[in-house]
Amino acid sequence: MQTFAYLSHKVTIADIARKLSIAPATVSRALNGHPAISEKTRKLVEKTARKLQYKRNNIASSLRSGKSNLIGVIIPSAEINFFGSVVHGIEKLANEKGYNVLIYQSNESNEQERKGLETFLHARVDGILVSIAKDTTEYDHFLDIREQGIPIVFFDRAKEELDIPAVVVDDFKGGYAATEELLKQGYKRIAHISGPAHMDVFKKRLQGYQAALKAHKIHFDLQLVVEGYVSIGSGQQATEQLMRLPEPPDAIFAVEDFTALGVLKQLKAMGKKVPQDIGVVGFANEMFGEHITPSLTTFDQQTVTMGKEATDLLLQLLDSSSKTIAQQKIMLEPIPVIRESSQRKK
């Protein structure tokens, strides 16, 4: 029951074949640049196709070839700038390479993440790109997918133990650099508001923070690390807690920008001046950081590049000919974006 079929008969390769008195197979070959087709036939077919406004039916093509040319992408939330930007990179490369992109938002829920994978299985996507949801602490659903023979690549939120290819930012280095930036500015007692410990991204930033302290021979005070849950409210709460310490910190490295925003809000509410009294550094380079007062020092995660690299990796995996992938793990450099919130000296 084709809706509106009467309006425009869909032209097929059979139509072209009939018109030219050749076989449909020949038309197909000509249209797909098969080498064993004469230049003359090819031109003729192409011209006729254009004239008849032929459009290849991807669905039929997919059914026959077993390739859908679809890539599924699961992101935690489209409302976070960061992911929107990564998707931009994914789409750009994917479209160039003839793939379409299906998006599914997990909303940080494990259940919805699983649903997304299920949906993608149904849609017969050729490969899947995932940034893991915050609530996900079990990973069997990803392994299931891999067992089905569908390539997966993680981006940003990866899980190392699974041995699934991934494109991430060097979070350890980022955490290290963030801490060092504060030390360089003369802050002495640096706190860290971390994210859920089960997530690699946040764990590594914490490790970077610890390593930087150690390198600078600063005693690691456990009281100065508060585990947050990656949100403005969490940043506010953690800040309150930190500032109530007998020896409060003089700088805070927040695990990402939303948390950092919470920190700034709370400090303002408490009448503390940033960066004079307290230094603040975030992570992710979310858009708002540039526009708030004081502007937020942070680290850029090369979002568009991340999307492209992840797609490129997936495409390699899809290309069965390349059995060996160049690199299973790609680390992007976090790029420091130094702004007011950390600049005590100047």
Partner DNA sequence: TTGAAAGCGCTAACAC
Partner DNA sequence: GTGTTAGCGCTTTCAA
Contacts with a copy of itself, residue ranges (CB under 8 A): 1-5, 7-8, 55-60, 62-63, 65-66, 68, 77-81, 84-85, 87-88, 91, 95, 100-105, 115, 119, 121-124, 147-149, 261, 265, 287-288, 291-293, 318, 320
Q: Decide if residue 125 touches DNA (CB under 7 A).
A: no
Given a copy of itself, DNA, none, residue 104, with its beta carbon under 5 to 8 Å by kind, binds a copy of itself
Of 36 and 222, which CB lies nearer to DNA in the complex structure? 36
User: Closer CB to DNA, residue 10 or residue 47?
Assistant: 10
> Which CB sits closer to a copy of itself, 69 or 207?
69
Is residue 125 within 8 Å of residue 221, measured between CB atoms?
Answer: no
Rg over alpha carbons for the chain, rounded to the nearest Å, is 26
Q: Which is nearer to DNA, 264 or 315 (CB)?
A: 315
Angle at 265 between CA 264 and CA 271, to 5 degrees: 90
Give the containing element (helix H, strand E) for 332: strand 329-332
84 interacts with, out of a copy of itself, DNA, none, CB within 5 to 8 A per kind: a copy of itself
- Angle, helices 81-96 vs 303-318, to 10°: value is 40
Query: Which partner, DNA, a copy of itself, none, binds residue 197 by CB below 5 to 8 Å per kind?
Result: none
Out of 3, 33, 53, 64, point to the residue binding DNA (CB under 7 A).
Answer: 64
Beta bridge partners of 152: 128
Q: Which does 305 bind (CB under 5 to 8 A by kind): DNA, a copy of itself, none?
A: none
8 or 324: CB nearest DNA: 8
Collapse the DSSP code of 240 into the 3-class scheme (helix H, G, I; strand E, B; otherwise coil) and give the result.
helix
Q: Cβ contacts of residue 23 below 8 Å, gap of 6+? A: 17
Binding mask 11-30 for DNA (x = CB under 7 A): -xxx------xxxxxxxxx-
Q: Does 61 interact with DNA (rule: CB under 7 A)?
A: yes
Quote the least distance from Cβ 323 to DNA, whole Å: 18
Give whichever of 198 and 268 is closer to a copy of itself, judged by the CB atom.
268
Q: Which is nearer to a copy of itself, 1 or 326 (CB)?
A: 1
Neighbouring residues of 67: CB distance < 8 A, sequence distance ≥ 6: 126
Report the half-sphere exposure of 178 (CA within 13 A, side-chain side). 41
Q: What is the 3-state secondary structure (H, E, C) of 142-192?
A: HHHHHHCCCCEEEECCCCHHHCCCEEEECHHHHHHHHHHHHHHCCCCCEEE
Residue 314 and residue 151 in contact, taking contact as beta carbons nearer than 8 Å: yes
Give me the residues that bind DNA (CB under 7 A), please.
1, 10, 12-14, 21-29, 31-32, 34, 36-38, 40-41, 54, 56-57, 60-61, 63-65
